[in-house]
Copies of this chain bind each other. A is one copy, B any other.
Amino acid sequence: MNAPRILEQTLSRLREQGERLTRPRRKVLEVLNQSGDHLTVNDVQRALQQAGEEMDAATVYRVLQWLKRVGLISQTDLGGEAIVYQIIDDHRHHHLVCLSCGSIVELSDDVLDPLRRTLRRDYDFEPRIDHLALFGLCKRCRTQGSLRPALQDVQTGQRS
């Protein structure tokens, strides 16, 4: 559906850096790239199957580690069942996860810019906030004043 976001250029750069572009690496990247969404390890495995590219779980784990290392994907804990992986592209965004109903709303990245500035200025810290998850109560649930969250799980998790 979507045009590839990871450019050939990026891959070339990696090759030049001495990274090996194997078939499994390309395929996992392709899956994440096309979905553009957060995928769990399981999602990735399933997507690969459907693409006729079934591969060993161990390999999937290793490839995901590699993709993180070279900075192509982010790893986020949305508080739910599992950790999710996602392509890091220009459409950087974050999520507001409702603790009560579990709904997820997208949060524009520039909302975090003031925070970034503060961290740089006051903490000498260069933030890399690729994919954040913030928890709380959504519009609907905050008025209903639901006190016992159905989603009792996480509050925020971004990785890299």
Binding site for B on A (CB under 8 A): 65, 68-69, 74-77, 79, 83, 96, 99, 105, 107, 111-112, 114-115, 118-119, 122-139, 142, 148-149, 152-160
Task: Return A81 CB to nearest CB of chain B, in Å.
Answer: 13
Residues of B within 8 Å of A114, CB to CB, are: 114-115, 118
Residues of B within 8 Å of A83, CB to CB, are: 77
Task: Return A112 CB to nearest CB of chain B, in Å.
Answer: 7
Closest B residue to A69 using CB positions: B152
Task: Return A3 CB to nearest CB of chain B, in Å.
Answer: 26
Residues of B within 8 Å of A75, CB to CB, are: 153-155
Residues of B within 8 Å of A119, CB to CB, are: 96, 107, 111, 134, 136
Task: Return A94 CB to nearest CB of chain B, in Å.
Answer: 10
Residues of B within 8 Å of A160, CB to CB, are: 79, 99, 135, 149, 152-155
Residues of B within 8 Å of A125, CB to CB, are: 96, 105, 136-139, 142
Report 26 cross-chain contacts, Cβ distance below 8 Å, ordered by A residue.
Answer: A75-B153, A76-B155, A77-B157, A79-B160, A96-B125, A111-B115, A111-B118, A111-B122, A114-B114, A114-B115, A114-B118, A119-B136, A123-B139, A124-B139, A126-B136, A128-B137, A128-B155, A129-B156, A131-B155, A132-B134, A132-B155, A152-B160, A155-B160, A156-B159, A157-B157, A157-B158
How many copies of this chain sit in the oligomeric assembly? Answer: 2
Task: Return A24 CB to nearest CB of chain B, in Å.
Answer: 19
Residues of B within 8 Å of A134, CB to CB, are: 119, 127, 129, 132, 158
